[in-house]
Amino acid sequence: MPVSASSTSQGLENSRVPPVRVYIPLGDRSYPILIGNDLLGDAGSYDAVPSAASALIVTNTTVAPLYAQALQQAIAGRYRRVDVLALPDGEAHKNWETLNLIFDALLGHGSDRKTVLFALGGGVVGDMTGFAAAAYMRGVPFVQVPTTLLAQVDSSVGGKTAINHPLGKNMIGAFYQPQLVLCDLGTLATLPARELSAGLAEVIKYGPIHDMAFFAWIEENIDALVARDPAALAHAVKRSCEIKAFVVGQDEREAGLRAILNFGHTFGHAIESGLGYGEWLHGEAVGCGMVMAARLSQRLGGVDVAFVDRLTRLIERAGLPVVGPALGAERYLELMRIDKKSEGGEIRFVVIDKPGSAAVRNAPDAVVREVLAQCCAA
């Protein structure tokens, strides 16, 4: 049965979902993901984080007025000095210039190699803060405090950090694991509806690649998720993190299995780069990219038309675009060749070889052109 949406009116910030922990099993780099309500401002939430002389909260101009003070107060007992840096908001600022603002703050404050960075915000803040932590003095500790659904279910987990380049998304970065990921579900109450839908794209992807029972649950509960039902969101975040933890635990540096987490992303990254970063949200591009990847999977014999239609309907119900922008097939192919999975100029796609199982495959350009003709605006 679907989770009831009757509690939505009480607001996520007033709900009480018992906190749960999901662990990322990486030996001496293992860490917990803490999921629940009222966690961000609770000093006890950070017991697993090392103390030091100083800490730097990296956030953005949208999130800072909402949550920076609460986080600063919660961690004040662990550090003699806690500074806050608010970066400009948006994917368009995920670049070297903005990254250097973090280094400027660290050096300007005389931060040492034990200084702890806290990434407070969505995927852009998390990626840049993690990259800065990996590079500053060759590595300092950092904590992910994601405030968007997309960051809570995907980008904050697993240690991928990066900035964009004009020629390709996330092409400059490092694998660097946080000390803790703290998912306070209450922060989702302040998330714009468009951002919530973008996060649902990354929730949906876990079904076709790994868990069709979860996919069926999402279908039953998509209206509750869009309505921000606390119990539905708590389960979606928990199950998404469990699946990602399982995959990352087996393949931390994307040598094989972890690549399946990029389902829809090869097409999606091309959309983001081709339109200009920030025109479509990352989750919007991934949602549409999953439709394209499913069509490609069908043409390669992995799934039938009924499955493609089922996935497309769910993505549309989540409030996401299912028709790609008219960049032109050759431009799509050009952009997709600049992809971390590409080998020797050959584009490698994450496709569904059967519902609940994904693989990385090559595809003839002619077939990709047919898919783009079917999936993109005229």
Close Cβ partners of 300 (under 8 Å, ≥ 6 residues apart) = 351, 361, 363, 367
Task: Give the Cα separation of 248 and 254 in Å (integer).
Answer: 8
Task: Give the Cα separation of 220 and 197 in Å (integer).
Answer: 16
Close Cβ partners of 158 (under 8 Å, ≥ 6 residues apart) = 24, 177, 244, 248, 252, 258, 261
Q: 11: left (phi > 0), else alpha (psi -120 to 50), else beta?
A: left
Q: What angle do CA 177, 183, 186 make, to 5 degrees?
A: 160
Close Cβ partners of 80 (under 8 Å, ≥ 6 residues apart) = 53, 54
What residues are annotated to the active site? 138, 160, 202, 244, 254, 258, 262, 265, 269, 282
Residue 121's φ and ψ, nearest 5 degrees, are 155, -155
